[in-house]
Amino acid sequence: MSNADDVLRLWVLQEEQVVTYRKLSRELKVHVNIAKQVMLDFYETNKSNCHATFLVTGTKRLSVDFICGGSESTELFMKLVPVTELASAQQGLDNAASHIYSIEHHATNGKHVLAMANISAGPIRDMAEYSAVGSSVTRVSVSSVSHAPVVQSEPPRAAKVEKVVSSPAASVDSSTDKQNQQAEGPSAKPPVKVKDAKSFFGKQISKVAHGNKPDTSSAAKAASAPVKLEPKIPVESQQTDSDVDMDNVEEVQPASKRRVEDMFDDDDFDDFEDIVSASESRANQETQGTVTTASREASDVEMSDSESRDAKASSQDMQVVDSQPGDSRRVRKRRKVSKVKHTKNKRGMLVTQTVEEWESYSESEPEPVSRATPAKRQSAGDSDTKKASGKSKSAVPQRSILTFFGKK
Amino acid sequence: MLAACDFSAMEQVFARATAVSDDPSKYSKVFSTGRRSYVRQFNELYYARLNELKPHVLTHAARRWGGKNIAHTLKVLNVEADETTYIVGTVFIDSSKKPSTLDQVEKEHWISDPEISDGYRNGSESVFLEDESGRIRLVGDVVDRSLLVSGIVAAMLGKETPDGSFEVADMCFAGMPPQTARPGVAEDKYVAFVSGLSATVECPVTLEMQLLAEYLCGTLGAASQPPLAAQIAQVVVAGNVLSLPPPPLGHTEDARANDRSAVAALVSAVDSYLADIAAAVPLALMPGAQDPADASLPQQAIHPSMFAQCKQYSGFRSLSNPAFLEVDGHVLLGSSGQNVDDIARYVRSPSTGPADSPCELAAKSLQWRHIAPSAPDTLWCYPFSDRDPFILAQSPHVYFVGGQDLPGSGEALGSDGQHTAVVTVPNFARSHCIVLLNLRDMKCTTARFSATDI
């Protein structure tokens, strides 16, 4: 067992770890009893350099008659002792036996050290085949297992993606010109970092964008002509693509990412012209969108995400111009919508963020019902209540309760 | 260096003993609350209890006193002076030491620190016997010496005193219900009872718990001795797996004070720990007073989603508290200890004698044919209306009670030959001790795990 000696020498003498028999059994993939024997042999040859903990087992006759029936009983006794107390621990026990439990470079300082060593050894069920006793249960099918853990992991990832995306979306909106964005290459670094973190679409696209920034800028200047720049996707589309249906992006391997991306490249190509034309008119639309978004935030802090999405999408619809010529291709457009995301920070506080997202839609799809009408109805309702109170204050924000009763 | 043959001897794997368990649906309805409604009062529960136990009490009373030409008075208020008779009703103890709702409100709002008594009987209480007609006060030395618990249905033999009380000369109860024959077991086969793991947020899994898991899984023990763990066919965890931190008083709006993420991590760690055991041997889990389950009895089974890793194994079962289960034809009835702890508070003069041990109290509750008679008076209970689930319809072969201070075993004998082994399971976090019951001879052994300051 030279391999075992090497392992123990490395762990115990060099790395000064606390090595339990379970850890060694798992590492060497041997029966637990063999691992115990190997450890004992190692300890015998390296007594001066290491310390051992032993488990003493035996039976003890109970001195206190705890049984209400009045008869005597025996107790199985199992105790962890350092090697210095091994002999004394076995005194007074019937059928006493012992085996080595752990080896360490120095005597452990507290029980918690051994407990941590056991935890680092991994679950016992993972080494069931090395146990001295077989199992009498079977593992049930995975389908019968609750998927709650998987579901629970999604929202944080989604939240991460959204949080990550929110900063580049905000940075995009802040600029008024695509050229400025390209010129702000250094300042656009945060968006690039974002893409690398989460989205495979974004990751690939960012790599492509890095190499093609000058080309995209020239494409933006000549946006009136249809541009077939499949690999040269501008920064905005990166950001928008990155946050579309990307709940499991972390698990996609780079090779598979490229393959999947290739599948979607054709679809993206259809939307690219929309994005290019939309970016041209962004200078005119973003201000409206920002104001609309802000006003909606002020009035609808507690709206649900779906409601806010619908309400704010209407403000952004105009960005997408029907620029598609009458051709036979499937027409899907992208529009920028503002969504209100509610998340929880580390302190458990509710954090509301407004994020800009792109969503794909088709002209053939029905428009969301009364996107603007809920807001209009709400504003109408507000005005009614104000009128019912006798005063119309819809244009003036209420500063104090006295304003509610109007000026005298 | 060891020879190859030595290694082959060390690599021996012992087959674990198997046992046939009951169908989960067989006893699932016994302590099920079903669709809950709290609009009803508890009088319905008491009526159901009296109506169901009264015939059995009368049977035993007639057998005990019938030969002495002693008449039975149908209603407690119809007793006549100077006439020896026996009456049947529900015992009620009126004591100032019993918990009151106002005390609970004071404790929650910290208005004042109420005095919490260990016992409900201090000598100044009054004992009554009630039925549909009313109640009559019980007096006499027999009443003072005997263990009486609110909610017991009993028959009292005596006569009325001039002041309208009833002086008791003797009493009898419903007796143990019928019992099915215990199947014979040819070889040693053990059921391991564990209670009170009490995993905390600071230390979810202690070294003693790890030793317990290694022992039950069969990795612990010298190679020279055949592992006893191979003969363990069933493991029952009788409550109090978790020891949750108390919720913060006030400041309910403070997210920092109400951060329960540590509790979620604790549950996950306990789930992983129990899964190690469930992967090796069938594991039955019961909730306890400290677990995230119902505050009142019967506690319903902890939701399986809390133990996602455990339920991947076929032998894992989440039971109610109390609960019935079968192991190789042996009927086991268990509780996590709240019922016996509350019965212990009715002991007149708390002593450490064997007559007042949790084992004896549990055995007496079998004689009363009711395992939680103090519910709902001093033990929180769901307001059942059509039945009392704590009334025993059959005598179990084993009655185990968890959450106790010391391990113990005894037996309850019925007048018709019933024999029930009574086992008390100690709190593992304090005693580091579990109880092993051998189904072959119904003898108990304890196993203690300890670690000196290493």
Q: Which residue does chain A place closest to B230, by CA atoms?
A: A133
B105: confidence class by pLDDT, cuts 50, 70, 90: low
d(CA A160, CA A158): 5
Which residue from B215, B278, B411 is facing A69, i.e. has the nearest CB? B411
Same domain, yes or no: B165 and B239: no
Residues A76, B305: C-beta atoms closer than 8 Å: no
Is residue B145 scored above 70 in pLDDT? yes
Tokens of A103: 């080896």
Residues B445, A76: C-beta atoms closer than 8 Å: yes
Is residue A161 scored above 50 in pLDDT? no
| Predicted confidence (pLDDT) per residue in B292-311, tens digit | 898 899 999 998 889 999 99
Q: What is the CATH number of the domain that holds B428?
A: 3.60.21.50
d(CA A198, CA A248): 9
In this structure, the number of other CB atoms found within 10 A of the CB of residue B265 comes to 12
**Percentage of the residues of chain B whose pLDDT score is greater than 90:** 61
A296: confidence class by pLDDT, cuts 50, 70, 90: very low
Q: Say which amino acid occupies A353.
A: Q
* Mutation site, B205, B216, B219, interface A, largest A CB count within 10 A: B219
- For chains A and B, CB pairs below 8 A equal 224
* Mutation site, A22, A24, A57, A78, interface B, largest B CB count within 10 A: A78
Query: For the whole model, what pTM was predicted?
Result: 0.68
Is residue B143 scored above 70 in pLDDT? yes
Residues B10, A34: C-beta atoms closer than 8 Å: yes
B122: confidence class by pLDDT, cuts 50, 70, 90: confident
- Nearest C-alpha neighbor of B233 from the set B193, B275, B191, B195: B191
Residues B222, A139: C-beta atoms closer than 8 Å: no
Is residue B107 scored above 80 in pLDDT? no
Residues B448, A75: C-beta atoms closer than 8 Å: yes
Same domain, yes or no: B87 and B207: no
A404: confidence class by pLDDT, cuts 50, 70, 90: low
The whole-angstrom distance between B432's CA and the closest CA on chain A is 10
Q: Which residues of A touch B219 (CB under 8 A)?
A: 21-22, 25, 32, 124, 127, 130-132
Q: Which residues of B touch A41 (CB under 8 A)?
A: 1-2
The whole-angstrom distance between B311's CA and the closest CA on chain A is 7
What does the pLDDT read at residue B70? 85
Q: What is the CATH number of the domain that holds B156?
A: 2.40.50.430
In A175-199, alpha helices (H): 178-183, 189-197
| Predicted confidence (pLDDT) per residue in B38-81, tens digit | 888 888 899 999 999 999 999 999 999 887 788 889 999 998 88
Same domain, yes or no: B157 and B206: no
What does the pLDDT read at residue B235? 96
Which residues contact residue A256 at a Cβ distance below 8 angstroms, ignoring those fewer than 6 apart? none
Q: Which helix (H) or strand (E) holds A214?
A: helix A200-221
| Ordered DSSP codes for B57-102 | HHHHHHHHHGGGT-EEPSSGGG--BT--EEEEEEEEEE-TTS--HH
Is residue A213 scored above 70 in pLDDT? no
| Domain final residue, candidates B172, B205, B225 | B172
Can you tell me the mean pLDDT for A326-339?
Answer: 74
Q: Which residues of B touch A78 (CB under 8 A)?
A: 211, 215, 220, 447-450
| Predicted confidence (pLDDT) per residue in A265-282, tens digit | 444 444 444 444 444 555
Residues B313, A41: C-beta atoms closer than 8 Å: no
Which residue from B14, B210, B446 is facing A118, i.e. has the nearest CB? B210
Q: Which residues of B touch A31 (CB under 8 A)?
A: 10-11, 13
Most confident of A2-6, A302-306, B413-417: B413-417
Same domain, yes or no: B113 and B30: no
Q: Which residues of B touch A122 (CB under 8 A)?
A: none
Same domain, yes or no: B347 and B378: yes
Same domain, yes or no: B356 and B222: yes
Is residue A80 scored above 60 in pLDDT? yes
Same domain, yes or no: B58 and B132: yes
B9: confidence class by pLDDT, cuts 50, 70, 90: confident
Tokens of B16: 């674990």
d(CA B141, CA A388): 79
d(CA B213, CA B232): 13
d(CA B404, CA B408): 9
What does the pLDDT read at residue A143? 55
What does the pLDDT read at residue B157? 94
| Domain final residue, candidates B147, B172, B197 | B172
Higher-pLDDT residue of A280, B17:
B17
Residue B77 lies in a domain: yes
Please give the tally of structural domains in chain B. 2
d(CA B379, CA A188): 66
In this structure, the number of other CB atoms found within 10 A of the CB of residue B225 comes to 13
Residues A137, B281: C-beta atoms closer than 8 Å: yes
What does the pLDDT read at residue A64? 53
Rounded CA Rg of chain B? 24
Can you tell me the mean pLDDT for B176-200?
Answer: 93
Same domain, yes or no: B337 and B192: yes
Same domain, yes or no: B312 and B438: yes
| Domain final residue, candidates B121, B146, B172 | B172
The whole-angstrom distance between A309's CA and the closest CA on chain B is 28
Tokens of A43: 């300890």
Q: Say which amino acid occupies B214.
A: E
Beta-strand pair A74-82/B443-451 = parallel
**Percentage of the residues of chain B whose pLDDT score is greater than 70:** 90
Same domain, yes or no: B74 and B218: no
Residue B440 lies in a domain: yes
Q: Determine the angle formed by the axes of helices A235-242 and A254-280, rounding to 10 degrees.
A: 120
| Predicted confidence (pLDDT) per residue in A372-402, tens digit | 444 444 444 444 544 444 444 455 565 677 7
Question: What is the extent of the structural domain holding B26?
Answer: 3-37+182-246+255-453
Which residue's entry shows tokens 């690398």?
A196
Residue B365 lies in a domain: yes
What does the pLDDT read at residue B13? 87
- Nearest C-alpha neighbor of B428 from the set B235, B190, B226: B235
| Average pLDDT over chain A, rounded to an integer | 63
Residue B177 lies in a domain: no
What does the pLDDT read at residue A110? 82
Q: Which residues of B touch A68 (CB under 8 A)?
A: 354, 357, 359-360, 363, 408-410, 422
- Nearest C-alpha neighbor of A358 from the set A232, A154, A173: A173
